[in-house]
Amino acid sequence: MLGLMQDEPLLIWRFLEHAGRHHGDIEMVSRRVEGDIHRYTYRGALNRSKKVASALDTLGLAQSDRVATLAWNGYRHFELYYGVSGSSRVIHTINPRLKPEQVAWIANDAEDRVFCFDMTFLPLVKAIAPYCRTVRHWVALCETEALPEYSGIPNLLSYEAWIGAEDGRYEWPVFDERLAAGLCYTSGTTGDPKGVLYSHRSTTLHAYAGSLPDSTFLSARDCILPVVPMFHVNAWGVPYSAPMMGAKVVWPGAALDGKSIYELMEAEQVTCAAGVPTVWLGLLNHLSSEGKRFSTLRRTSVGGSTCPPAMIDAFHKLGVEVLHGWGMTEMSPLGTVGALRNKHVGLSWEEQLPIVAKQGRAVFGVDMKIVDPDGEELPWDGKTSGDLLVRGPWIASKYFKREQESLLIDGWFHTGDVATIDADGYLQITDRSKDVIKSGGEWISSIDIENIAMAHPAIAMAACIAVPHPKWDERPLLVAVKKSGANIDREHVLTFFAGKVAKWQIPDDVVFVDVIPLGATGKMQKSVLRERFKDHALPA
């Protein structure tokens, strides 16, 4: 016997329709790439998103056709999220930090029909346009007057003229909630990038889960500033969860330096934010050098790579709670968040810090386990580490166009991360399997070493990598960037590790560099460092 409840498919346009009807006067604020501030309300966003949907009809796009975006966080990108997915097409967000040939490769693989881009990316688009075989229409996210007289890009439209031709009267279609809604390619550090294809159903369930009290606690009283880009894993779902909750949103555009973010936070009275650790480094440095504090910011979601405990502590001293989350593109991305349990509430901050610094507990919908190389489940003792496996309704089962290859083994997705889980269910990522350092049959967590190094007052950034060793197979090398004006040497750094890890886990050597290369999603590119230092002579 089936239940007798209304059978409304979970479709993405419902988020914005809800916000337009129930939170219609709530503002959305964007720093535009033009430099000025744009404001309107959810009602305005709904109206213009419907124009996008109609404009795609006018171009003759079919269901599930792909529309690419190469854009910063802003209101036009938000309208595309809804106009494209809401009208049953697929929004394909592309990371502009990838190399031009990768962008073209991805656009061809996705068979994008329409390609929308911020004017800042005009040179990139000019370079790739001749190689994008399936794109029929190029749309520059600007007014008609801002279009260049001659661009060489065929069928170039201005977004404002394109959607301005529509009257905004549009009925959202109703279709199967399992239909594809969004496409995002993995960064492709190993092999070609692979497309993760989100559905309306997975995106909706993920938005609910991401807003829960122990996830981000997003509410109608919040003003959220997502620094995490809309071009990568849907800005962690904020474009869906914010209208769902009726929260005000502030999009930072292309100005991601500490000063610009801080000023926007203060001007718009931002209460919560989201981003990877590297962007928060810039913000925290700005505050400490200017002696400033936040007047309204209360919490920030941090993930994408390990949030060093020193950073969580720095935010805490500024009255901001860090919600340390873990996930991946294949997981939409949310997997776990490090919120405290009831029994931790009475503890001192020094006792709470190591708990919230872990990657946290599984949100409802995600199940996880750690296994040994034979696939046997390992104990949740906080010490035994193993390969991390996950499953759930917003986790990929296959990659786009590789439908014949299942990603699941016995129903579980292999994350490629190595982790421990403690008795309270807190996950701690000890490494990515390819970053772990294998010394004499024992594993050294590069993340543990980096967290300690990052707590050193003179170190701005640190990566720990494996260097080949004749006796031990591999030994750890610390690659560090000094804070400006800091005066430290190798011995000084190595002494700092004494008593913090076992002696054999202390790096054999330290090299100082000016910068650590960051990948397209702001993560340290340890593979580049491994290549650069593969012949590094460790001291005997």
Question: Would you please indicate which residues are annotated as catalytic (active-site) residues?
Answer: 186, 330, 438, 443
Q: Of the ranges 99-107, 216-224, 412-420, 509-517, which one interacts with ligand ADP (CB under 6 A)? A: 412-420
For position 327 contacting ligand ADP by CB under 6 A, the verdict is: yes
For position 95 contacting ligand ADP by CB under 6 A, the verdict is: no
Amino acid identity for residue 516 in this structure = I
In the complex, least distance from residue 126 CB atom to ligand ADP, rounded to whole angstroms: 28
For position 11 contacting ligand ADP by CB under 6 A, the verdict is: no
Q: How many CB atoms lie within 10 A of CB 477?
A: 23
In the complex, least distance from residue 169 CB atom to ligand ADP, rounded to whole angstroms: 37
Amino acid identity for residue 31 in this structure = R
For position 306 contacting ligand ADP by CB under 6 A, the verdict is: yes
For position 429 contacting ligand ADP by CB under 6 A, the verdict is: yes
For position 415 contacting ligand ADP by CB under 6 A, the verdict is: yes
For position 304 contacting ligand ADP by CB under 6 A, the verdict is: yes
Distance (Å, whole) CA 206 – CA 12? 11
In the complex, least distance from residue 83 CB atom to ligand ADP, rounded to whole angstroms: 24
Nearer CB in complex with ligand ADP: 140/449: 449
Distance (Å, whole) CA 399 – CA 407? 8
What single string gives the DSSP state of each residue in 206-253? Answer: HHHHHHSTTTT---TT-EEEE-S-TTSGGGGGHHHHHHHHT-EEEE-B
Q: Contact with ligand ADP (CB under 6 A): which of 95, 203, 359, 439?
A: 359
Q: Retrieve residue 40's tokens.
A: 């309107």
Number of residues that bind ligand ADP (CB under 6 A): 22
Amino acid identity for residue 513 in this structure = V
Going residue by residue from 442 to 481, which x/- string records binding to ligand ADP, judged by CB under 6 A? ----------------------------------------
Nearer CB in complex with ligand ADP: 250/337: 337
CA distances from 355 to 68, 108, 313, 373 (A): 40, 44, 12, 27
Q: Of the ranges 132-140, 253-261, 318-326, 531-539, which one interacts with ligand ADP (CB under 6 A)? A: 318-326
CA 519 vs. chain centroid, Å, equals 12
Q: Contact with ligand ADP (CB under 6 A): which of 258, 275, 303, 507?
A: 303
Q: Retrieve residue 234's tokens.
A: 């849907």
Q: Of the ranges 285-293, 303-311, 368-376, 477-485, which one interacts with ligand ADP (CB under 6 A)? A: 303-311
For position 329 contacting ligand ADP by CB under 6 A, the verdict is: yes
Nearer CB in complex with ligand ADP: 54/359: 359
For position 430 contacting ligand ADP by CB under 6 A, the verdict is: no
Tell me the sheet residues that pair with 73. 253
Distance (Å, whole) CA 325 – CA 23? 28
In the complex, least distance from residue 197 CB atom to ligand ADP, rounded to whole angstroms: 14
Distance (Å, whole) CA 88 – CA 54? 12
Nearer CB in complex with ligand ADP: 83/327: 327
In the complex, least distance from residue 373 CB atom to ligand ADP, rounded to whole angstroms: 19
Strand ranges for 53-158 from DSSP E:
66-70, 90-93, 112-117, 137-140, 156-158
By CB under 6 A, what part of segment 143-202 binds ligand ADP?
Answer: 186-187
Strand ranges for 330-472 from DSSP E:
334-337, 361-362, 367-371, 386-391, 408-409, 412-421, 427-432, 437-439, 442-444, 459-469
Nearer CB in complex with ligand ADP: 88/301: 301
Nearer CB in complex with ligand ADP: 74/193: 193
In the complex, least distance from residue 95 CB atom to ligand ADP, rounded to whole angstroms: 9
By CB atoms closer than 10 A (0-12, 13-18, 19+), residue 432 is: middle
Question: 464: Cβ–Cβ under 8 A, 6 or more apart, which residues?
Answer: 437, 444, 446, 447, 449, 450, 453, 476, 477, 478, 479, 507
- The SS3 assignment for 92 reads strand
Number of H helices, E strands in the chain: 15, 26
HSE-up (13 A, CA, CB side) for residue 524? 25
Nearer CB in complex with ligand ADP: 326/394: 326
For position 432 contacting ligand ADP by CB under 6 A, the verdict is: yes
Amino acid identity for residue 65 in this structure = D
The strand pair at 137-140 and 412-421 is best described as: unpaired
In the complex, least distance from residue 429 CB atom to ligand ADP, rounded to whole angstroms: 4
Nearer CB in complex with ligand ADP: 85/428: 428
For position 233 contacting ligand ADP by CB under 6 A, the verdict is: yes
Nearer CB in complex with ligand ADP: 215/521: 521
In the complex, least distance from residue 68 CB atom to ligand ADP, rounded to whole angstroms: 19
Amino acid identity for residue 326 in this structure = W
E strand or H helix at 180: strand 180-185
Nearer CB in complex with ligand ADP: 71/419: 419
- The SS3 assignment for 58 reads helix
CA 508 vs. chain centroid, Å, equals 33
Q: Contact with ligand ADP (CB under 6 A): which of 42, 170, 185, 326?
A: 326
For position 333 contacting ligand ADP by CB under 6 A, the verdict is: yes
Amino acid identity for residue 166 in this structure = E
For position 97 contacting ligand ADP by CB under 6 A, the verdict is: no
Most distant pair of Cα atoms in the chain: their distance = 74
In the complex, least distance from residue 275 CB atom to ligand ADP, rounded to whole angstroms: 11
HSE-up (13 A, CA, CB side) for residue 78? 31
By CB under 6 A, what part of segment 495-534 binds ligand ADP?
Answer: 521
For position 118 contacting ligand ADP by CB under 6 A, the verdict is: no
In the complex, least distance from residue 420 CB atom to ligand ADP, rounded to whole angstroms: 13
In angstroms, the first-to-last Cα distance of the chain is 73
Which chain residues interact with ligand ADP by CB under 6 A?
Answer: 186-187, 232-233, 303-306, 324-329, 333, 359, 415-417, 429, 432, 521
